[in-house]
Amino acid sequence: MSDTKKNFFTYKGLPLVRKGNQLYYGNMYDDFVVWMEIKSTKKVGDLEVADKVKIRKMSTDLTKPSIDKQTDTDSLYDALDIACAWLKVKA
């Protein structure tokens, strides 16, 4: 029998899952997760790099309002930095 448990990529100890242009950061068992949506990209050398990212801090409790806070940024690196601050991730 094979093990079907999935191991997620982590960033600073929390799961980071990508599907298309959407990324989810955080643990669904915690109070909040961060949803990042890549709105546009630009070519840098041979790579496509995110240059517009919408970030939303969302409650995992369905009885509370879903979006706690949101902002836009000009890079995925900045988006991850903000997400870490919102989720109070320690380096």
Domain extent, residue 19, equals: 10-86
**pLDDT of 89 over the 70 cut:** yes
Whether 4 is in a domain gets the answer no
Residue at token pair 């990042």 = 36
Q: Which of 4, 63, 2, 58 shows the shortest CA–CA distance to 34?
A: 58
* Residue 54, amino acid: K
Give me the pLDDT at residue 6, please.
Answer: 67
Segment 9-47, tens digit of pLDDT: 999 999 999 999 999 999 999 999 999 999 999 999 999
Q: Is residue 25 part of a domain?
A: yes
Please state the domain count of the chain.
Answer: 1
Place of tokens 């995110």: 50
Question: Residue 42 and residue 52: Cα distance in Å, rounded?
Answer: 9
pLDDT, one tens digit per residue, over 39-85 is 999 999 999 999 999 999 999 998 888 988 999 999 999 999 999 99
The answer to whether residue 37 is domain-embedded is yes
User: In this structure, is residue 75 part of a structural domain?
Assistant: yes
